[in-house]
Structure 1
Amino acid sequence: MKFCSGYMPPEYAVDGIFSMKSDVFSFGALVLEIVSGKRNRGFCHTDHKHNLLGHAWRLWNEERALELIDNLLDYSSASSEILRCIHVGLLCVQQGPEDRPNMSSVVVMLSSEGSLPQPKQPGFFTERNLPESESSSSKHLSSSTNEVTISMLQPR
């Protein structure tokens, strides 16, 4: 499947099914975006064509999750907390809604130090074929100009 809307869970995007875990997927995608400093939508890594969720999953499985962290973050003293955020983010974006935690569990996971279950493959774990202009690795910024006319009515 080549469709990814950024925060939309697979069950809603594909089948139009909304569940109590749909927001959990969106939250997980947002957590991974915050940690990485990159947007899920339009993300494309130079070494592979995975979206941000796929990239995070790949790094997690290769035990290189710290590479996901935005270079602008000073995480030297908080790397275990950021790794926990990545772990929880991956648990939230799992393919099946039944595999995702509920939001109250997410709060507990983020605020405690207990062990966490291993995440399963995320939804929309796809290789993408984005045009160069849509890729987050692209340096080219495109824009358009809209011409607008505004008429100001003045009373006499």
Structure 2
Amino acid sequence: METDLRSYSAKKSLLNWKKRFNIIEGIAQGLLYLHKYSRLKVIHRDLKASNILLDEDMNPKISDFGLARIFGLKGLEENTDRIVGTYGYMSPEYAMNGVVSIKTDVFSYGVLLLEIVSSMKNNSCYHSGYPVNLIGYAWQLWNEGKGLELIDPTIIDESFPSSEILRCIHVGLLCVQDQAKDRPTMLDVATMLSSETVQLLPPKQPAYLNNFVQEKSSEVSEIKPENCSINDVTISEMKAR
């Protein structure tokens, strides 16, 4: 029986780091297949925790392709007036300008990765006195050399692989960079996750550092909606199971 990733929010102690990393890699491989190896290039457009199913062995599977966009094999990006998806996971160029590409999914994947590592959700605030969301909080800690403080305390023990987790956070921040051209492809992501010898570039400032920015983008996106998911209803709570 399969269960979506969000439903484990109250059971996060069941997800040790090994299981979380397996989920992170599995989602990356799934997106890589959709973007590069499937017969047609598929952009999911609504990647979030509730659209990741886990089997009894905690292996992930991407689900719910109702909002997916199919490209020709040579298609790079398209513009659309019909903006769909879940605020908090939508890339800035898509939410504001309707530009759809594989980098749309890469951004969503970066948000999801940071949520899996931290067991936090992106549309909450994590700084008293400043409306910084998970992306902004991760960026702040990273710049201060305190990346380990982002990790869910339930997975920290004497043997937890701090270098591997920090590498995942680094990859997540690369995926949520403001400019689509600065984000890696899912092939790059899969390589960076599987090999510690691959050198990672320093991440640039991410998009959506605070919730005020997200609220503004939501207002723009709602001008021409197509089954848009609103934050307080469907943003996934990645207090992973």
Alpha-carbon distance between aligned partners in 2 of 1:95 and 1:76, rounded to the nearest angstrom: 36
1:44: Cα distance to partner? 3.5
> How big is the alpha-carbon RMSD for the aligned residues of Structure 1 and Structure 2?
1.8
Determine the C-alpha separation between the residues in 1 that align with 2:187 and 2:125. 29
Choose which of 119, 141, 145 in structure 2 pairs with 1:59.
141
Q: Does 1:8 align with 2:90?
A: yes
Give the equivalent residue in structure 2 for 1:116.
200
Structure 2 equivalent of residue 81 of structure 1 = 164
2:114 counterpart of 1:37: no
Q: Structure 2 stretches of 5 or more lacking a match?
A: 1-85, 214-241
Structure 1 residue ranges, 4+ long, deviating more than 6 angstroms after superposition: none
- Aligned equivalents of 2:129, 2:115: Cα separation in 1: 19
Between 1:38-47 and 1:18-27, the stretch displaced more is 38-47
The structure where strand makes up a greater share of residues is: 2
Q: Does 1:103 align with 2:200?
A: no
Equivalent position of 1:143 in the other structure: none
TM-score between the two structures when normalised by the length of structure 2: 0.49
Q: Percent identity?
A: 55
- Structure with higher Rg: it is 1
Structure 2 CA distance for aligned equivalents of residues 42 and 58 of structure 1:
15
> 2: CA distance between counterparts of 1:84 and 1:21?
20
Where 1:125 maps in the other structure, the secondary structure is coil
CA distance in 2, matches of 1:5, 1:118: 26
Contact 2:175-2:184 within 8 A present in 1 as well: yes
Query: In the comparison of the two structures, how many residue pairs are matched?
Result: 126
Contact 1:51 1:128 in 2 (8 A): no
2:150 is aligned, of 53, 68, 90, to: 68
TM-score (norm 1): 0.75
Distance 2:87 2:177 in 1: 15
* Alignment partners' CA distance in 2, 1:53 and 1:68: 11
Q: 2:175 aligns with which of 92, 103, 108?
A: 92
Q: Secondary structure at the match of 1:34?
A: helix
> Contact 1:48–1:127 (CA<8 Å) still a contact in 2?
no
| Equivalent position amino acid for 2:128 in 1 | T
Of stretches 93-102 and 40-49 in structure 1, the one that deviates more from structure 2 is: 40-49
Mapped to 1, the partners of 2:184 and 2:152 lie a distance apart of: 25
Bigger fraction of residues in helix: 2
